[in-house]
Amino acid sequence: MGKIVFYEGRNFQGRHWECSSDCMDTFRHFNYCNSIRVSGGHCVLYEKPYYMGYQYILGPGEYPDYHWWMGFNNCIRSCQMFPPYRGSYRMRIYNRPDMMGHSMEFMDDCPNVYERFRYRDIFSCNIMEGYWIFYEHPNYRGRQYFLRPGEYKACGDWGCHNPMVGSFRRMRTLM
């Protein structure tokens, strides 16, 4: 499926650990993470154990410093791996909880939710096909939230405390 190599030092230096599957608690493998190499798929990194806290979605590549993955700090405590996805993408977003209110269906990336949806808040959504990434701010900036196929009846279901979504994109593997 793929692998992640976590390094304690910047620029792939210092103690490191290779991971090729989900890990609920990385603490026994390394103390902090300042650089990462990802190959063969995508991964979702979490600031806290058991897939909690800030989320960072990384595609295949090299990340020599935690700022390269928009990290708030060098703390990674759990991770999940996802194989490359080559199917279609489709989701419906709603401006109210429980799939209520104004809705709109998307099949492509959206750099500015307000310009297309006319609402700043997404309270619920239905991911019908593909993996998606929500960003707190327009132009794919700020906190990231990973969404897999399923119904999310409240924004807390995808790990956020604030329904403001500024942009979103498909989690795609470039060929």
Digit-coded pLDDT (tens) for 114-170 = 999 999 899 999 999 999 999 999 999 999 999 999 999 999 999 998 999 999 999
Q: Are 15 and 39 in the same domain?
A: yes
Identity of the amino acid at 78: S
**Does residue 45 form part of some domain?**
yes
Q: Are 111 and 153 in the same domain?
A: yes
Final residue of a domain: which of 52, 82, 112? 82
Q: What is the CATH number for 66? A: 2.60.20.10
Name the burial class of residue 70, with classes exposed (0-12), middle (13-18) and buried (19+) by CB atoms within 10 angstroms of its CB. middle
Q: Are 11 and 76 in the same domain?
A: yes
Q: Are 59 and 95 in the same domain?
A: no
Q: Are 12 and 37 in the same domain?
A: yes
The domain tally of the chain equals 2
Name the burial class of residue 46, with classes exposed (0-12), middle (13-18) and buried (19+) by CB atoms within 10 angstroms of its CB. buried
Q: Are 66 and 95 in the same domain?
A: no
Q: Are 75 and 20 in the same domain?
A: yes
Domain that holds residue 129: 90-170
Length of the chain in terms of residues written = 175
DSSP track, the chain: --EEEEESSGGG-SSEEEE-S-BS--TTT-S--SEEEEESSEEEEEEETTTEEEEEEE-SEEESSGGGGT-SSS---EEEEE----S--EEEEEEETTTEEEEEEESS-BS-HHHHHS-SB--EEEEEES-EEEEEETTTEEEEEEE-SEEESSGGGGT-SS-B--EEEE-----
Structure tokens at 12: 């792939």
- Model pTM? 0.88
Write out pLDDT tens, residues 18-56. Answer: 999 999 999 999 999 999 999 988 999 999 999 999 999
Final residue of a domain: which of 30, 49, 82? 82
Final residue of a domain: which of 45, 66, 82? 82
